[in-house]
Amino acid sequence: MPDPTKWTYDYGGGGWGNQELESYTPRTANAEQRGGYLVITARKEDYTGGDGIPRQYTSARLKTQGRFAQAYGRFEARMQLPVGKGIWPAFWMLGSNIDSVGWPKSGEMDPMECIGDPLMIHSGIHGPTTSGGDAGVGAWFQVPSGSDVDKGFHIYAVEWQPNDVRFYFDDHLIAEYTPKDMPAGMTWVFDHPFFILLNVAVGGNWPGSPAANAVFPQQMLVDYMRVYQPQ
């Protein structure tokens, strides 16, 4: 299992604010270390977790909340992603003050989200509006030909400095955001420690539901997750 001094789990089937279809579990069937990788597996199976919510899919969502958080620096993961309609792998980060201020006041950074297309990934940030709602900015990136995210490993990273957030795919800059790039009314809240999340969601508002003939299980392979101190 992943190192418990660094990682813990979210679990349950409540939809996670996105109408997701999976129940997250801490089972080795959904997250394990195998062959030198962390393997997060989404499965099609009837499952009712401790929250009593029946679901037809399971997966895992790992996080460093309460174990590790850092402000600024470089956060990078080398991964091979699952793809297909309704499959939603993500490497993302939340402000470590989320339990006290809630989301989106905590802030959210998304170095990598993929919603089915092996040649497209998305990166972005979310923060609160002056009225307390959610606002965000993001960008799609078409990966170079032959770099299909499900056919090999690639590095997904964020380089984060005061008033500057930059996202990368391998050595390609995807997007850069500063306070002046925020939509009208969005508050810049990227000035405190964030923790890391890795997960594979199934369905939800953004990717939609899997096709009836979708192939399961689907796996995200994580070669490593590294964090560097700011220079």
Active-site option among 20, 22, 76, 113: 113
- Secondary structure of 21-83 in the HEC alphabet? CEEECCCCCCEEEECCEEEEEEEEEEEECCCCCEEEEEECEEECCCCCCECCEEEEEEEECCC
Which residues face 120 on adjacent strands?
142
Active-site option among 76, 108, 159, 176: 108
Residue 113 bears catalytic tag = yes
107 alpha carbon, distance to own chain's centre: 14
Which residues face 31 on adjacent strands?
40
Residue 32 bears catalytic tag = no
DSSP assignment, residue 193?
Answer: -
Q: Which residue has the tokens 């990788």?
A: 37
Rg (CA), the chain: 17
Residues serving a catalytic function are 108, 113
